[in-house]
Amino acid sequence: MQGMGDAAAFHGSVLLLGTQAMKTTEAQRRASAAYQSRSVTQICIKFSPKDKQLYEWIKSRGPSASGYLKSLARTEMQRKQQGSRSDGETVAST
């Protein structure tokens, strides 16, 4: 939040300011919802019963399944970019 430095952080609908907790206002909730609507995109992934092990594996990777999946995608993107040359030909990986 602007002007509050690093000591301020949102946690759910409560603004944590140092050791004080302040409830967020309706205007803050509306502004946050508007930002989310404008700026955040999402992908919904469905897992069938046959993919239960895959689902459990992803969930076990830490507190953020989306963070884990983003990390995998970034790694794959970097690997693909390093394997490509500027002339469009792909360099063979070993």
Q: Where are the domains of the chain?
A: 5-39, 44-94
pLDDT score, position 62: 84
Tell me which H or E stretch contains 8: strand 8-11
At residue 73, φ and ψ (nearest 5 deg) are: -65, -40
pTM of the complete model: 0.54
Rounded Cα distance, 7 and 17, in Å: 6
pLDDT at 2: 45
Cα–Cα distance, 85 to 60 (Å, whole number): 36
C-alpha–C-alpha distance, residues 83 and 90, integer Å: 6
| C-alpha torsion sign, points 16, 17, 18, 19 | negative
pLDDT tens digits for range 34-75: 999 999 999 999 999 999 999 999 999 988 999 999 999 999
